[in-house]
Structures are given as structure tokens and as C-alpha cells.
Amino acid sequence: MARTTDTLVSMLQAQPVVPVIVVDDAGSAVPLARALVAGGLKAIEITLRTPPALDAIRAIAAEVPEAIVGAGTILNARQYREAEAAGSKFIVSPGMTQELLDASSKSDVPLLPGAATASEVMALVEEGYTMLKFFPAEQAGGAGYLKALSSPLAGVRFCPTGGVSAANAPDYLALPNVVCVGGSWVAPKNLVASGDWDAITGLSSEAATLGTGTISV
Ligand SMILES: O=C(O)C(=O)C[C@H](O)[C@H](O)COP(=O)(O)O
């Protein structure tokens, strides 16, 4: 477990923002991944919310070797195995179930499980997970909530996701236990649909250089 946590942290800590992508067309996956990588964001999460998601992961894994493609919205063991077989380098879930933990223990592909309460964080720490997704970040209480939540939970690191934007990301990134944030704002659906890869590279580049803010809590 320590080994997979280290792998996960090393993949995610190189960038302040992990783009969260909902793919509507597998054909856009490769140019989209190239545009994000060109801006500086290599680790990319493709959510399994749409039918082309696995094909998109396969295409990026095969054709964009400089990207680190992961799978999001993984809710069960079957999806975990399918995402791994498609070439995912990391797996993200909005939460945690025993089935997912069992799938993760049988896999070399690390899991970033979701938590939003002290009890959820503590249950995952008991299972050996110390790098967690804080989800849904803004709706659960934002950076101030995460700061308060994590004060007694030393040693746990987070990737806040859900409602995170260029405007509020610096508040999360200012927290010492935040490795990166996740967000969909870097690849808006309209720009993907129109194939405006230069605009997406611009958003990626802005996100890749986001600094830390200071939260007033
Ligand atoms: O389903 C998952 O595993 C997810 O990763 C959910 C994402 O965290 C949110 O969909 C982020 O969405 P935005 O609020 O648009 O940035």
C-alpha cells in the first residue's frame, strides 16, 4: 500500500491541477490529452460517466505516452478492472466501498478514494490509504472545512475535487496537506466540442502555474 500511495503522490504532485474530463467522443481524446500536456498538465482523469470513456483511455495510453492517464468515477470492481485493462495509471473514486478496496488490493494501479468526513478519512487511513480525494470539495465546505478536518488527521494528503475553479484552487493549494486539486474547468465541453485545442492548452498552462493563496479561516 505504501508503495502504491507513493506512486500516486509522485504522479499527482508534479502539477497543481488534475483535469477531470467527461468525454463525449473518443475521437477527441488524443488531441485533448496532447493539448493538456502541452500546457503542462500530464496527469489527466477521464471519468467513466460516458460510453466512450474506456476507448478514450485506451487511445491516450497508446498514443500520448507523455500523458499519465487515469480513470475517474470508478464505482465498483468491474470498472476498476476495465479501467486498468484500458491502460489507466491511476483510479479515482468519489467514495470508498469494501468492493473497491478489495479490487485495489489485487491491482498494481493505485486508487485515489474519496472522503468528505472525519470518519471516512479515518476508515481509509485504517485501510492504509493516506492520499485521498476530498469530494465534493466546495459543496462539503471548501478549503476552510478541509483545513479544520485535516488538523487532527496528520499525515493524510488530499486532492480536493468538486466545484474547484481557477479562482478558489489557490485556497486549497495553500494548505500544506493538499497535493493538487481536480477540476473540469481546464477542459470545458464547448472548447472540446469545437476542437479549440489552443484554448485548452492556454487553460492548462494557466492551471499549471497556479500558485497558492491564503485562506481567511
Ligand atoms: O466522479 C468522479 O470520480 C469525479 O472525479 C467527480 C469530479 O470530482 C467532479 O465531477 C469534478 O467536477 P467539477 O466540479 O466540474 O470540477
The CATH number linked to 131 is 3.20.20.70
Residue-wise pLDDT tens digits, 71-98: 999 999 999 999 999 999 999 999 999 9
**Cis peptide before 19, with omega less than 30 degrees from 0?**
no
In a domain, 196, yes or no: yes
Residue to probe by mutation, ligand 1, list 135, 139, 165, 186, most atoms within 8 Å of CB: 135
Q: Is residue 213 part of a domain?
A: no
Domain assignment present for residue 143? The answer is yes
Ligand 1 lined by 183 (C-beta under 6 Å): yes
Residue 92: strand pairing partners: 112
Question: Could you tell me the distance, in angstroms and rounded to a whole number, from the CA of residue 20 to the centre of ligand 1?
Answer: 6
> For residue 5, what pLDDT is reported?
84
Runs of H (alpha helix) within 13-159: 29-39, 53-63, 77-85, 98-105, 118-126, 137-140, 142-150
Pairing of strands 131-134, 114-115: parallel
> Do the domain assignments include residue 72?
yes
Active-site hit among 42, 84, 89, 133: 133
* Most distant pair of Cα atoms in the chain: their distance: 46
What is the pLDDT at residue 1?
Answer: 60
For the Cβ of 113 lying below 6 angstroms from any atom of ligand 1, the answer is no
Question: Which domain, by its residues, includes 85?
Answer: 2-208
| pLDDT (0 to 100) of residue 39 | 97
pLDDT at residue 217 in the model? 44
Could you tell me if residue 198 is inside a domain? yes
Choose the residue to mutate in 73, 161, 164 for probing ligand 1, maximizing ligand atoms within 8 Å of C-beta: 161
Would 11 be classed as within a structural domain? yes
217 domain residue, yes or no: no
Residue 13 domain-assigned (yes or no): yes
For residue 137, the model assigns a pLDDT of 98
Question: Total domain count for the chain?
Answer: 1
Which residue positions in the chain have pLDDT lower than 50? Answer: 217
